[in-house]
Every structure is written in structure tokens, then in C-alpha cells.
Amino acid sequence: MSALRSALGSLDLAVLEWMHRHVTQAGMSMAQAISHVGSPVAMTVLAFAGTLTLLALGEWILLTGWVAAFTGASLIDRWLKVAIHRPRPIYAASLLAHPTWSFPSGHAMGSLVGYGMLAYLMVLANRGKPSRQRMIVVLATCLVLIIGLSRLYLGVHYLSDVVGGYAAGLAWLAACIALVELARHWRLRPLRLDPTS
């Protein structure tokens, strides 16, 4: 275990320093703009917009899954940060006025869950259009990956922070979608009251 931890630490530092050597002012500005798309503020706006839309449509099962996804992602991120207590990379101090713990990347986890849920709803809205559904998934995936990359470029996270954020986010997203699909399946099934049927 110690050998694996040492190897991961070495990889983290190698990626961090490689990114730092290739930083440009234009690249930093672009990375900051991309990073804002996965920020807590952006995810909060997305969460409220989705909530209001699903409320207006009366999609109660999807609304429950939507709220659970965003709320759970926030709680899991905070719990992991407090439990692991990993300091930020040294380059984060110049960009973050009030840095929190480094692991996991909240941007990586939050964007994966947020844009993942948005993609899920858009896929549902495009039933019978497989090419459009694939495009939705590809675009959401690319956006989430670019957001994670921006955090590495800015030097505010290690590689394992971003990967850990993706892993935790993917697990929570999969759980939320699975529960929503299960609830939708049982809701659409006819109620059977006759024990002989």
C-alpha cells in the first residue's frame, strides 16, 4: 500500500510540474473560464434551473433524483475533504483566497454529477433519436473532462484529486440514475391487486 501511495504521489507531482512548466497567461485565462463552468456557483444555478423546470413539468420522480444527485454530491465532496485532509498543491495559494482541502476535486465531482444528470434528462427527452442521444453523452463527457483538465492546468489540484472526484461522482451519479430508473419502471407498471394473477 505504501508503495502504491508513493507511486501515486510521484505521478501527482510529475503531472503538476509538467502542467506548471507549460502554463501561459492566455492558457490560464482560458482555464479559469472553463473552471467557472464547473464551479459551485454554476452547479447551484444549474440545480435551481433544473428544479424549477421539473416542477413546472410535474416530473416528480425525475425531480427527486435531480435534487438527490446535487445534494448528495455536495455532501459527499465535503465529507471526503474533511475525512482525508489533503493540502492543496503549492500553486493553489496564488489563485485561491480561501483554499479548502484538495481531495477530491469538487469541480470534477460536481460537474460530472451535474452535467451527467442534465445529459440523462436530455437523453430521456430524445427517445427514439439514438444519434442525438449519443451526441449528448459525448458533449457532456467532453465538457466534464475539460473542466477536470482546467483544474490541473491551474495547479489547484493533483491528478489523483480529479480522478478521485470523477470516481466518487460517477458512483453517485450511477446510483441516482439507477434509483430513478427503478422508480420510473415501477410507476409505469400496472398495479396488480389480484393474488391469483
Q: Where are the alpha helices (DSSP H) in the chain?
A: 2-21, 25-37, 40-57, 60-84, 106-125, 130-154, 159-188
Instruction: Give 54-111 pLDDT, tens digit per residue.
Output: 999 999 999 999 999 999 999 999 999 999 999 999 888 888 877 789 999 999 999 9
Note the pTM of the prediction, 2 decimals.
0.89
pLDDT of residue 139: 98
Q: Assign a CATH topology to domain 11-188.
A: Vanadium-containing Chloroperoxidase; domain 1 (1.20.144)
Q: Output DSSP code: residue 104.
A: S
Name the residue among 22, 11, 43 with its Cα closest to residue 118. 43
| pLDDT number for residue 140 | 98
* Domains in the chain: boundaries: 11-188
Angle between helices 25-37 and 40-57 (to 10 degrees): 30
Residues 6+ apart with CB under 8 A from 56: none
